[in-house]
Amino acid sequence: MDYDVIVVGAATTGAVAAKKLASQGFKVLLLDAKPKNRIGDKACGDAIGEEDLKKAGVTLPAEVVRERILGADLVSPDGKTVFRIQGYGYTVDRVGLGSALVDEAESAGAKFIDNFHVDAPIIKDGRVIGVKGSDEITARVVVDASGNKTKLRGALPDEWGIEKTVEKKDAVAAYRVIMEDMKPAIEHGYLRLIFDQNTSPGGYIWLFPEGNLSNVGLGVTMIGNYPNPKIATENWIKGKYEGKIVAGSGDTVPTRRPFATMVGNGIVLAGDAAATVNPVTGGGIGSGMLSAKFAAEAVAKALSQADLPGINELWSYNVTYMREYGAKQAGLDVFRHFLIKLSNDDISFEMSSGIMDEKTVTQAAVTGEVNINLRKEVEIMIRGLKRPSILLKLRQMASDVKTAMEIYSAYPDGFDGFWSWRKRADSFFASLPY
């Protein structure tokens, strides 16, 4: 074999995985289709939570930080209720971050080749033994960190149980512009998220401060005749904000529960390639880095146990990920299914009535659990306010979130229990009434 590990994709997930493996002495090759100075150049809100970075063991280089974030404002569709959620984070220069993380991987000993487009995995005798592009390169394990449009996932054998595609209903199409000296200026230190099911159905509009720049965009769930996010963004900005647009681009985000498994013989998937994004916020940088950390730990252990690690040796990656983040992600996916179906009036009602409040949202963000305010619920009923059906749906959703988290927390310890577990998880999600 040419390498111990080939990591495909050198963005935030891949570079972190490569650094962690190379620093343990493994012979690592990091590949990316882009030139080095464009790694990280992608449509993004550029926001990262501090807690996520800590959990992934990643320190941001100071020079890539554009703004220190203290929290987020969630704005109801009618504009009358604003939840201020406290939570530290950063907005960053994504291209600067991309180069810095690749530099760190190289300093740790990984070899980096840019402008290398991987076309497919090399599969021999029931295992992945490398990748093909302009050349064929072999490795004991391949880490697929090549994002949502990965060329590897779809070519893997069905019997490993890895989902090959992300259905449109489980994805968001998003677009954003970067504006210089935007007027009126948005408050520094706070991310602003606005819910509006007409402009951004199933998603939200965001305004993120980045020093003298502002990152403004929106996401729409790709269900039915969904609006073009570029046109929706430009129309929404028109008449509200002015400034010089210095960049604009869009992409899709896999906003679903985690893939049922992220390992095969000789391969693991991480980051967007494994759908590790937070289903509600669409944030995937931190969770991708976290998956890179868990994947690197499992790969390092597997390489010390077997010359050519297979599903069984690599399985601990699935178990760690599901228990540490996947269960929360599954709970948030239930919440996402629920949110998509709400009208603007429903959301404004829930936020203004107090049945959902800052505490509920903060808890959902931290743990994934949704605890609706039952005291408020009773109060609302006594006051004779309408919408009993919303209250019932909220109760049902909170209970479904709990069940989803329980299923993912009980992830099987080995591949033996996988198919029966998967049947249970799939049928639970298929049965959701919203």
> x/- binding map, residues 148-177, to ligand FAD, per CB under 6 A?
---x----------------------x-x-
Which positions ≥6 away from 224 have C-beta within 8 Å?
none
Amino acid at 359: K
Contact 394, 355 (CB under 8 A): yes
CB nearer ligand FAD, residue 39 or residue 303: 39
Task: Tell me: does residue 253 bind ligand FAD (CB under 6 A).
Answer: yes
Task: Tell me: does residue 329 bind ligand FAD (CB under 6 A).
Answer: no
Strand-pairing partners, residue 248, are 177
> x/- binding map, residues 284-323, to ligand FAD, per CB under 6 A?
xxx-x-----------------------------------
Contact 67, 212 (CB under 8 A): no
Among 12, 197, 261, 265, binds ligand FAD (CB under 6 A): 12
Per DSSP, 381 falls in state: H
Helices 12-22 + 285-305 axis angle, to 10: 30
Closest CB 145 distance from ligand FAD, rounded Å: 5
DSSP string, 290-324: HHHHHHHHHHHHHHHH-SS--HHHHTHHHHHHIII
Among 279, 283, 309, 331, binds ligand FAD (CB under 6 A): 283
Cα of first residue to Cα of last residue in the chain, in angstroms, is 49
Closest CB 258 distance from ligand FAD, rounded Å: 13
CA angle, residues 424, 430, 431, in degrees to nearest 5: 90
Q: Are strands 242-254 and 171-183 parallel, antiparallel or unpaired?
A: antiparallel
Sign of the Cα pseudo-torsion (405, 162, 22, 119, in order): negative
Q: Which two tokens stand for residue 172?
A: 């968001």
Quick check: helix, strand or coil at residue 66?
strand
Closest CB 117 distance from ligand FAD, rounded Å: 5
Closest CB 116 distance from ligand FAD, rounded Å: 6
Among 7, 14, 166, 221, binds ligand FAD (CB under 6 A): 14
Closest CB 139 distance from ligand FAD, rounded Å: 14
Closest CB 341 distance from ligand FAD, rounded Å: 23
Among 121, 130, 264, 282, binds ligand FAD (CB under 6 A): 282
- Type and span of the H or E element at 237: helix 229-237
Closest CB 118 distance from ligand FAD, rounded Å: 4
CB nearer ligand FAD, residue 87 or residue 354: 87
Closest CB 195 distance from ligand FAD, rounded Å: 16
Whole-angstrom Cα distance, residue 168 to residue 209?
Answer: 30
> x/- binding map, residues 174-193, to ligand FAD, per CB under 6 A?
x-x-----------------
Closest CB 184 distance from ligand FAD, rounded Å: 22
Task: Tell me: does residue 376 bind ligand FAD (CB under 6 A).
Answer: no
Task: Tell me: does residue 146 bind ligand FAD (CB under 6 A).
Answer: yes
Closest CB 329 distance from ligand FAD, rounded Å: 12
Whole-angstrom Cα distance, residue 400 to residue 302?
Answer: 35
Task: Tell me: does residue 99 bind ligand FAD (CB under 6 A).
Answer: no
Whole-angstrom Cα distance, residue 12 to residue 42?
Answer: 11
The CB-side HSE value for 14 (13 A sphere, CA atoms) comes to 35
Q: Please report, for the chain, how many H helices and E strands are present, in that order.
A: 13, 16
Closest CB 158 distance from ligand FAD, rounded Å: 21
Whole-angstrom Cα distance, residue 38 to residue 32?
Answer: 10
Contact 310, 141 (CB under 8 A): no
> x/- binding map, residues 33-72, to ligand FAD, per CB under 6 A?
xx----x--xxxxxxx------------------------
Quick check: helix, strand or coil at residue 378?
helix
Per DSSP, 109 falls in state: T
Task: Tell me: does residue 272 bind ligand FAD (CB under 6 A).
Answer: yes
Per DSSP, 73 falls in state: E
Among 6, 69, 72, 118, binds ligand FAD (CB under 6 A): 118
Whole-angstrom Cα distance, residue 317 to residue 310?
Answer: 12
Contact 427, 404 (CB under 8 A): no
By beta carbon distance, the residue nearest ligand FAD is 284
Please tell me the count of residues contacting ligand FAD according to CB under 6 A.
Answer: 39
CB nearer ligand FAD, residue 261 or residue 353: 261
The residue range among 25-33, 56-64, 361-369, 396-404 that interacts with ligand FAD, by the rule CB under 6 A, is 25-33
Among positions 390-429, residues that touch ligand FAD (CB under 6 A) are none
Task: Tell me: does residue 89 bind ligand FAD (CB under 6 A).
Answer: no
Please give the residue ranges that form the binding site for ligand FAD (CB under 6 A): 8-14, 31-34, 39, 42-48, 117-118, 145-147, 151, 174, 176, 217, 251, 253, 271-272, 277, 282-286, 288
